[in-house]
Structure 1
Amino acid sequence: METFGEAVRRLSGSESLRSVARRAHLDAAHLSRIVRGIRPPTHLYASALDEAFGTDELVAMVRQRPVGEWTVDSEHWRHRDFEALAAMLLAETPTADNALRLAHEWLIADPPQVYEVRAGRRIGNSTVEHVIERVQQLRLLDDHLGGMSTYEVVTAELAATAGILREASYTEVVGRRLLVAIAELCQLAGWVASDAGHYADAQRLYLAGVRAAHAGGDTPGAANNLSSLSYQVANIGDPREAVMLARSAVRGAGRSATATTRALLLERLSWAHARAREAGQAERSLGAVDDAYSGRKPEDDPPWTYWLSCKEVEVMAGRVWTELRRPLRAVPILERATAGYDENAARETSLYLTWLAESLLQAGEVERAAEAASRALRLSRHAGSVRADGRVQTLRRLLGEYRGTPAADDFEEEYHAAVKSNDRESGAAG
C-alpha cells in the first residue's frame, strides 16, 4: 500500500518538496518530515497539498485519530477545529504528570498559525495574543521535559509563527508585537536546542532572536537572547568570549531592563566570569545579582523571567563557588537549595545535585558526594537532557579519582547498570 509520503513524491513528479511547500503555503521542513515518515500527516497538510496538486486523494489517506481527549468531528479541518484544539492545548497547564502527553499533542497538531497563513488573513492583536499564550505554555512544558523531548515541538511552533510574519498582512504595530513574540520563541527554541545538544542550531536561533527583538523594539528580549548564547558559549566554548557576550547583554539592556531581568543577565555574566576563572569579577557580579533581585517588581517583569526565584539565585551562586573551587561557600548554599526542589523536575534537580556532588568532592566528602551523584544519575535517566547527562559523566570522571573507596565503586557500578538499562530500553524501542 502506498504511503502518504510516497503519494506526495508521486504527485510532485520532478518538482522539489520546497517548491511544493511554497505553492501550498506550508512549512518546507515540516512537510519533509511528513514525507519521510518522521511526523504524521494531518488533514491541514493533506488538503493544502491536494489543492496544490489539483487532486483529492491525499485527504482520503489521512484518518482522524483521537489524542488525549480531543477529536475533530469532520472530514476536513475547519477554522473552528483549529480554535478548539488550540484552546484545549492551552487549557491544561503542563505538570510532571501530563507533560509528555501534552508534548505529543503539540507535535501531531499543526499550530493554528498555519491556518492564518493559508487563509491569507489580515491578522490583528488577538492573533498575537494567542501566539504569546502558546509561547508561555511551551515555557511551562520545558519546566518538566528536557530538550530532547521539546526540541521539535518548539521549533515547529517557531516555523509556523515565522510563516505569519512572511505571509500574512498586518499593521506595523501588530508586526512589531509579532517580532517580539518570535524573538521569545527563538530564545526558547535556542534553549531547548542547546539542552538537546544541537549547539549550532541554538546559536543560530539565539542570534535570530536578537535581530527579531531589535526589530520589534524589545531591547531586554534581545539581551536575553544574547546572554543565553553567552551561557552556552561559557559551557562548551571559550569562556572569554562568553564574558564579552554577557557584558554586551547587560550593557545593551541598560535602563530598559526590569530589576529581575537585570538579575538574570548578571547571573549569566557571573557564570561566564567563573568559567573564565575570574574570581573577583564573578563575586562582584553575584553581589550585583543580589542587589538587582532585591529591588524587583514582578508586575513590571516580562513573562520569560517567571522562573527566576530566590532559590534559583542561590543555586547559581552555589554553582559559581563550585566552579571557583570554594566548597565552604558552595556546599551550604547548594544543600539548602536542592533540599527544596521537587524531584518531578528531573532535569533541574539532577543538574543542581551534580553541582552539590562536585562541591562535596572538593571538600573531601566522598561518601556524601557519591550519594548526591547517585540521585543525580537516577533523575538524569528521565530528564531527556544532554546537559544533565554530561554533568553526570563529569561526576563519574571526578569520582573515578577515588576508585577503591566503597562509595565511588558503588557509584561506578550503578552508572554501568544505568547504561545497560538504557541500552536495553533503546533496543526495545527500536
Structure 2
Amino acid sequence: MLAQSPRGCEQCGCRLSQYNSGTLCSACVRSRTLNQHALSVPERVWRNQEIQQALASWDFGTATRLIRQQGSLRQDDIAHLTGLSQAFLSMLESGHRRLTNIDKIVEFLTGLGVPPELAPLPLPRPLRPSRDLYSGDLDPALPWTASRMVTALGTAVGGSAMDRRRFLAVSGLALTAFVHHWSTAEAEPLVRAAEGSRLTHELLDSLQGTTDNLRSMDASAGSGTLADLGNAHLLLLKRLVEQASYDKDTGQRLAAIIADTAIQTGWFTFDSGDRDRSPTYLFAALRAAKASGDVRLGVGALSYLAIHGYSTGAPRDAVTAARGAREKIKHLGAPALEAMLLTRQARGHAKLGERQEVFTALGQAAELCAQGRTERDPHWLYWINEGEIHGQAGSCYLDLGEPQRAVTSFTHAHDSLNPSDQRTRALFLSRAASALVRQGDAEAGCDTAHRALDLAEQLQSARLNEHVEAMLSDLEAVRDATYAQDLLDRAAAVTGARNRT
C-alpha cells in the first residue's frame, strides 16, 4: 500500500483526506470556486423575471447575457459550464447565431443548472398516436399513473427494437425533464381490488429474495445470463400488477420490488453489453420507484443512468442525473448513498475534463464514506466502502491523464475492496495496469494485467471485457518487451476461446 503523509489545507489548515489530491479541503474548494464563478450560477439569478421570460421563450442569447450580468460571470465562465465556445456565445448574445440543436440545448441548460421548470423540454409526439405504443403516454410531464408505469415496464421487458429506439429517442432528449418530474410529480397509488388471488407478504418476501439473490450472483460472477433471468422476473412482477389483487400498502411494496428488479435488470443488461436497451429498464424503474414512495430507489435508477451517461459519450448526462438525485436526498441522512452519487458525478466531470469539480466531488465522497452507514442507507448499497471510493478516484485520474495518481488510488482500492466483489477488483486491476504502463512502468503493468486476466477468465461481463481490451491496447505500446509479448499471447488465447464459445 502506498502511504501518504497527512496534509493540511493551505487555506484553513484542516487535515486533508487521503482521497483529496488538491491542496484545499472540499469546503474551501467550494468557497474559492464560487468566488471565481467556476462551479455554478448563483441561485438568485433564477428569480430574475427577465431571465425567466427569456428561458421560457427559448431566447438563449438574451438569457445568456442576462445570466452573465446578474451572476457577475464572464463568457469564459459560461463556456466552461456549458461546453459551448466563447466565440459561439458571443455570437449567440449578439443575435448572429442561434442555439437549435436539442442535445446542445440540454447541455446548455444542465451545465448552467437551470431549474427544469424554467425551460421545459418539449418531447416529440408520434405521428400515429392510435397505433404507436407511446402515444405521448410516457411523457414525464403527464401524470405519473400506475398504467403509465406498466406501459414503461412493458416497453422494457417486451417491447420491440423499434419500440426501444423510439423510447430512447424520447428519454435521451429529456433526461432533465425526467429528473425534474420524478422529483416533483405525485404518483397514483398502486391498488387493484379484483376477484382472485391476493398478494401475501410471504410471496412478496420471496419475490424480493429472488431480486437480492440475482444481485449477489452479479457481484460474484458477472452479469452472464442474469439479464434474461432479471427480465423473466420482471415479467412475473408485471403480471402480478395486472392480475393480482392488492391494497395500497401491498401495492407500494410490490412497486418497490419492481423498481429494485428493474434497476438490477437494467444494470445486468448494460454489463452484458446491450447498452441501448439498458435505459428502458431504468426509466421504468423511476416510475415504479415513484409509486413505491421510496426516494432511494429512484436515486438508484438515476445512479445507473449516470453510469450509462459517462460510459456512452454523454458525461453531462451523468452529472445531471447524479446532481438531481443528490438534491432529492440532501436532507435524508444517508451518507453512503450520497457518497456513491458523488463518485458517479465525479466520473462525469472527469470525462468532461473538469478537474476541480472532480476533486471537490471526490473529497466530499470520501468525507461521507468516512461517516459510516446509517439506517437510512438502503440495504442494496452494501458495496460502498473505502475501496470503491479509491477505485473511482483512480478511474477519474486516469481519465484526467494523471496515471501516477491513478496508480496510488488503485493501490488503495485493492487493499480495501470487499474480497467477494471479484468483478470490481478485476475492473480496477485492468485500469491500474493501464495507469502503470502510461506512467512508464511496463513490467509492473504487465504483472497487474496478468492478475486482471486471472479474474476475467472466471467472470462473464462484457463491460469487463471492454476494459481488458482497453488495457491490452495500452500494452501494445510495449509489446516488444518479452514479458509484454507473453501477456498479449495469453490474452489472445483467452479472447479466442471466448469467441469460439
Mark yes or no: TM-score above 0.5.
yes
Partner Cα separation in structure 1 for residue 263 and residue 332 of structure 2: 19
- Give the TM-score taking structure 1 as reference length: 0.68
Query: What residue number does 1:125 align with?
Result: 201
Query: What residue number does 1:216 align with?
Result: 292
Partner Cα separation in structure 1 for residue 215 and residue 351 of structure 2: 27
Query: What residue number does 2:434 align with?
Result: 358
1:241-268 Cα deviation digits (max 9, x unpaired)? 2222222222233323611111111111
Deviation for aligned residue 1:165: 1.4
Between stretches 232-241 and 260-269, larger displacement belongs to 232-241
Query: What residue number does 1:266 align with?
Result: 342
Query: What residue number does 2:423 align with?
Result: 347
Contact 1:274 1:282 in 2 (8 A): yes
Specify the SS of the correspondent of 2:254. Answer: helix
Match of residue 143, structure 1, among 219, 228, 243: 219
Alignment of 1:154-193 (within 5 A): 154-193=230-269
Query: What residue number does 1:377 align with?
Result: 453
Contact 1:331 1:359 in 2 (8 A): yes
Query: What residue number does 2:411 align with?
Result: 335
Partner Cα separation in structure 2 for residue 419 and residue 343 of structure 1: 25
Contact 1:135 1:185 in 2 (8 A): yes
Deviation for aligned residue 1:278: 1.1
Amino acid across the alignment from 2:289: A
Partner Cα separation in structure 2 for residue 193 and residue 327 of structure 1: 30
Deviation for aligned residue 1:344: 6.3
Query: What residue number does 2:386 align with?
Result: 310
Specify the SS of the correspondent of 1:135. Answer: helix
Deviation for aligned residue 1:331: 1.3
Query: What residue number does 2:280 align with?
Result: 204
Deviation for aligned residue 1:291: 2.0
Amino acid across the alignment from 2:293: G
Q: Residues 332 and 296 (structure 1 numbering): CA distance in 2 closer, same or farther, change over 3 Å?
A: same
Alignment of 1:12-411 (within 5 A): 120-256=196-332, 258-339=334-415, 345-411=421-487
Specify the SS of the correspondent of 1:305. Answer: coil
Q: Residues 341 and 308 (structure 1 numbering): CA distance in 2 closer, same or farther, change over 3 Å?
A: closer
Specify the SS of the correspondent of 1:147. Answer: coil
Q: Residues 343 and 411 (structure 1 numbering): CA distance in 2 closer, same or farther, change over 3 Å?
A: farther
Deviation for aligned residue 1:340: 5.8
Partner Cα separation in structure 1 for residue 303 and residue 416 of structure 2: 27
Partner Cα separation in structure 2 for residue 339 and residue 153 of structure 1: 33
Partner Cα separation in structure 1 for residue 473 and residue 378 of structure 2: 40
The structure whose RCO (Cα within 8 Å, separation 6+) is larger is 2
Query: What residue number does 1:84 align with?
Result: none
Specify the SS of the correspondent of 1:304. Answer: coil
Q: Residues 344 and 291 (structure 1 numbering): CA distance in 2 closer, same or farther, change over 3 Å?
A: closer
Amino acid across the alignment from 1:169: S
Amino acid across the alignment from 2:330: G
Specify the SS of the correspondent of 1:210. Answer: helix
Deviation for aligned residue 1:423: 4.3
Partner Cα separation in structure 2 for residue 301 and residue 346 of structure 1: 23
Deviation for aligned residue 1:188: 0.7
- Give the TM-score taking structure 2 as reference length: 0.58
Specify the SS of the correspondent of 1:398. Answer: helix
Deviation for aligned residue 1:217: 1.3
Amino acid across the alignment from 1:219: V
Partner Cα separation in structure 1 for residue 292 and residue 463 of structure 2: 31
Partner Cα separation in structure 2 for residue 317 and residue 194 of structure 1: 22
Ranges of 4+ aligned residues in structure 1 off by more than 6 Å: none
Q: Percent identity?
A: 27
Partner Cα separation in structure 1 for residue 384 and residue 418 of structure 2: 16
1:7-47 Cα deviation digits (max 9, x unpaired)? xxxxxxxxxxxxxxxxxxxx999xx9xxxxxxxxxxxxxxx
- Mind listing any 5+ residue stretches in structure 2 that lack a counterpart? 1-152, 159-194
Q: How many residues align?
A: 313
Q: Residues 230 and 28 (structure 1 numbering): CA distance in 2 closer, same or farther, change over 3 Å?
A: closer
Contact 1:219 1:256 in 2 (8 A): no
Contact 2:388 2:417 in 1 (8 A): no
1:90-128 Cα deviation digits (max 9, x unpaired)? xxxxxxxxxxxxxxxxxxxxxxxxxxxxx9311143332
Contact 2:289 2:297 in 1 (8 A): yes
- Mind listing any 5+ residue stretches in structure 1 that lack a counterpart? 1-26, 33-118
Contact 1:151 1:193 in 2 (8 A): yes
Deviation for aligned residue 1:382: 2.1
Contact 1:343 1:379 in 2 (8 A): no
